[in-house]
Amino acid sequence: MRSHLDFLGALYVVWGAITALIGLSTVALGVGAAALGRVAHVSMRGGVAADVAAAIFLALALLSLAWGAVHIVNGVALRRRRRWARPLALALATVDLIMLPYGTALGIYGLWVLLHNDARHQFQPALI
């Protein structure tokens, strides 16, 4: 079970990095939409629509960057067997289930690994 936990931690880091990259590309879309909004306001056509698009893109980008960062931090903590990492990973795996298709696969694997009794014991404090 130890190797499954290490692999799950690595998958969380990779998933978080991919999500953060998607967030960065969405920031670029938001900046582009904002620039179009400025030009549209000058020509008096479509400025509000461009501003709304820019706000939506930037909000989604922030959400994606935060979601990726949480996965990266949790992936590293899983590999280090931090006690708080298992409950957070269970919550993330549950939400990942709705992100078809890769998030669903990661969520199923995460739940399978983390709900196993051997995994639970990996996060118990060591008895001296």
Domain annotation covers residue 124: no
Whether residue 99 is contained in a domain is answered as yes
Q: How many domains does the chain have?
A: 1
pLDDT digits (tens, 9 = 90+) for 63-109: 999 999 999 999 999 999 999 999 999 999 999 999 999 999 999 99
pTM: 0.88
Domain-located, residue 125: no
1-12: pLDDT as tens digits: 789 999 999 999
What value does the mean pLDDT take over residues 102-123?
A: 93
Q: Is there a domain that residue 38 lies in? A: yes
Contacts of 119 (CB under 8 A, 6+ apart): 1, 4, 5, 86, 113
Q: What is the mean pLDDT of the chain?
A: 92
* pLDDT for 123: 87
Q: Residue 77's domain spans which residues?
A: 2-119
**Domain assignment present for 127:** no
CB 114 within 8 A of CB 8: yes
Residue 40 burial (10 A CB sphere; 0-12, 13-18, 19+): middle
